[in-house]
Chain A
């Protein structure tokens, strides 16, 4: 059974750096074809993909946010960490992490999701 859970601060100040941790179970990030992604959703708005990290440490970032994002993994702890610098009130959103798998069965991004964590950016 695959589960993911996001953790981190619920409130950050403008210009601060946000660090979110995704702790997962039911799969290993050392297995070929597996990845974890981060997605956010501002209140009442659409989903926005942020970053992806694959089993082989390949990393992909949203072009519009690339300069502010860093994604890393700790395979031994079953965790993926996302940092976002220079936070602004427009970054207020629910942040989700999700499992990804690609292989002969197809490309299955985000087939399992965490519950999400609401991050508010305010002074």
Chain B
């Protein structure tokens, strides 16, 4: 069973920068896993932020960016706003019978 691992929690100050990562139990994450990132606030459905490693949806604020970093997928928030406090999930595409797998989520606190 493939496992996708994220930091359970991170804290950042308003205006600061923070990087969330996403690792695969199968090895290094590459662009072929088409990393996606989602934001979820309490009581709401998830919202897509990043697809295929670094592409932003039309609604994604410019302060969010995606990349590959040290064998992991990464989501960087620059100039963090209080409204960025949320749970963030990554998703990796494994193809075939495995399909896609969500990470366990990172709870981001803005303090």
Contacts and interface: CB of A to CB of B under 8 A. Distances in A.
A60 B105 contact: no
Interface in B59-93: 89, 91, 93
A109 B45 contact: no
Among B45, B52, B93, B98: residue with most chain A CB under 10 A: B45
B45 A115 contact: yes
Interface stretch (A17-25, A44-52, A81-89): A44-52
The SS class assigned to the B binding surface is strand
Contacts of A39: 46, 102
Nearest to B98: A63
Contacts of B93: 107, 109
Interface string B19-61: 0000000000000001010101000011110011001010000
B46 A113 contact: yes
Interface residues of A, number: 25
B105 A110 contact: no
Interface of B: 1, 34, 36, 38, 40, 45-48, 51-52, 55, 57, 89, 91, 93, 97-105
